[in-house]
Amino acid sequence: MEADFDLLILGSGSTAFAAAIRAAELGKTAAMTEMRTLGGTCVNRGCLPSKNLIEAARIVWESAHPRYDGLKPEKIEIDFEKLISQKQGVVRSYRDKKYQSIVSEEERIKVIAGKAKLIDAHTAVVGDEKISGDQVLIATGSRPAIPLIEGLDKVKYLTSDLLTSGESSELTELPQSLVIIGGGYIALELGQMFHRFGVKVTILERGRKILPHYEPEVSRALSNILRAEGVNLVTSASVIRVLQRSQNEIEVTALINNQEQSFSAQKLLVATGRLPNTDEVGTKTVGIELDQQGFVNVTEELQTNIPNIWAAGDVIGNHAGSQLATPVGARDGVVAAMNALGNAHRKVDHRVIPRTIFTDPQVATVGMTDAEANATGLRCWCGTIPLELVPRAGATHQTNGLAKMVINRDSQEVLGVSLVMPNAGEVIHEAAMAMKFHAKLEDFIDLIHVYPTMAEALKIAAISYFKDPTKLSCCAE
């Protein structure tokens, strides 16, 4: 059996759906292929389920550790099985409303279940079926990267797929202890979450600090916060082997300061980055150019070296200035569809991409770091203020954190912002919108902010260029 479409999309995640919807809006037909679950990583095993459980963990932690004198600590009993069940319900509901219903209602969009592999520039094989497209979009996403560690192939370990609903990789029982290999955002989010659920957590990061590509102040602040909570965060720890001691004990050995040190736990979570899903989709057969890590090389219009084949989402990595993030893929899916089907010649714009790590407090960034700005040759100024200078933080006893602003000293245009604070993921959008329109320090200062809010941190950071922020009265400039 063979079917022909205007746009053949490999994948059914946020990037694929954005492209398919835009194709239908253009009056074209689109087919998506999916080898796992409709909706891809974000809704099924990433963003949605993790944030659901992270918020539950925050409630548990704050009940036992109230920030206010006069509030009695209360220990909330955790029924992890019920937590997982409600998480599954949220995922199913969201998938049905935001993904399945669209496919069911739009005749121009079809989904073909199964593993797809390109056999030429226009055709993919899915099981016994051949699917053809005048244009092709590779949007197969990414998967957890598994490092080469002695003994790892003989150990039952977890990956970020532990939150997947309805698959064998899903964690349904709360372990007593957990060792996490890796110190990136996934390791930190899940590590704090499990710690707050009462699990003894050890995080092993091979570098000298967590979040090496973030501002050093951010890394230090979050490290101190996690350690103060009780997370065993170990840096400069290069894992050299793992061993399954028993059914309920895994031993992880790391080289720390040239000495071996072992850590034992009931479960092991490997969170060492992500790899693109390009190795089994026929890229070599068709001759699609990949980089050394397997990410697809694309132009600023998201076109590969094959004229009718496009790529977007996690599979392109950092090419064209992209980042591995759901909203980036969704935006680029629209661009790819417009260029492929409408000859729009639209270039992607990745200059302003806000990001958030959902630890508590949250970490949010947009734009350049201090080091990145200086590497371009710009004359930069960087101002960092402690969160204790923000009235809202003091009023609510949430002063662990900071705000940092990077500006072009010559033009005073804001080039980057980093935040460690409650609700940083909400506040960062003010900075992102401002940067989209090339705002300067005076724009942040002149904007009247609601008092007291965490967003005032941006105004105070901007003011710190001109005067000592410790000598400001409330709402003063």
Cross-strand partners of 117? 125
CATH 3.30.390.30 domain range(s) in the chain: 355-471
Sheet containing 414-421: give its strands across: 355-357, 362-367, 414-421, 402-408, 380-386
CATH superfamily for 152-271 is FAD/NAD(P)-binding domain (3.50.50.60)
* 35: number of Cβ within 10 Å: 16
User: What pLDDT sits at residue 43?
Assistant: 85
Query: Taking the CA of residue 477 as centre, how many other CA atoms within 13 Å lie in the half-sphere pointing to its CB?
Result: 11
CA angle centred on 314, ends 220 and 271, rounded to 5°: 45
CA neighbor of 181 nearest in space, from 237, 257, 244: 237
* CATH of segment(s) 2-143+275-342: 3.50.50.60
CATH superfamily for 355-471 is FAD/NAD-linked reductase, C-terminal dimerisation domain (3.30.390.30)
> 151 and 262 in contact (C-beta within 8 Å)?
no
CA distances from 123 to 31, 35, 43, 282 (A): 12, 17, 28, 10
Cis peptide before 452 (omega within 30 of 0): yes
**In sequence order, which residues have a C-beta less than 8 Å from that of residue 291 and are 6 or more positions away?**
297, 317, 319
User: What pLDDT sits at residue 1?
Assistant: 52
The number of angstroms, rounded, from the C-alpha of 143 to the middle of its chain's C-alpha atoms is 13
> 26 and 5 in contact (C-beta within 8 Å)?
no
DSSP 464: T
Structure token digits, residue 374: 């200086």
- pLDDT tens over the chain, length 477 residues: 567 999 999 999 999 999 999 999 999 999 999 998 888 888 888 889 999 999 999 999 999 999 999 999 999 999 999 999 999 999 889 888 888 888 888 889 999 999 999 999 999 999 889 999 999 999 999 999 999 999 999 999 999 988 886 677 789 899 999 999 999 999 999 999 999 999 999 999 999 999 999 999 999 999 999 999 999 999 999 999 999 999 899 999 999 999 999 999 999 999 999 999 999 999 999 999 999 999 999 999 999 999 999 999 999 999 999 999 999 999 999 999 999 999 999 999 999 999 999 999 999 999 999 999 999 999 999 999 999 999 999 999 999 999 999 999 999 999 999 999 999 999 999 999 999 999 999 999 999 999 999 999 999 999 999 999 998 887 767
User: What pLDDT sits at residue 2?
Assistant: 66
Structure token digits, residue 381: 């100024």
Please state the pTM of the whole predicted model: 0.95
Tell me the C-alpha distance between 226 and 248, whole Å: 26
Tell me the C-alpha distance between 192 and 183, whole Å: 12
User: What pLDDT sits at residue 78?
Assistant: 96
CATH 3.50.50.60 domain range(s) in the chain: 2-143+275-342, 152-271
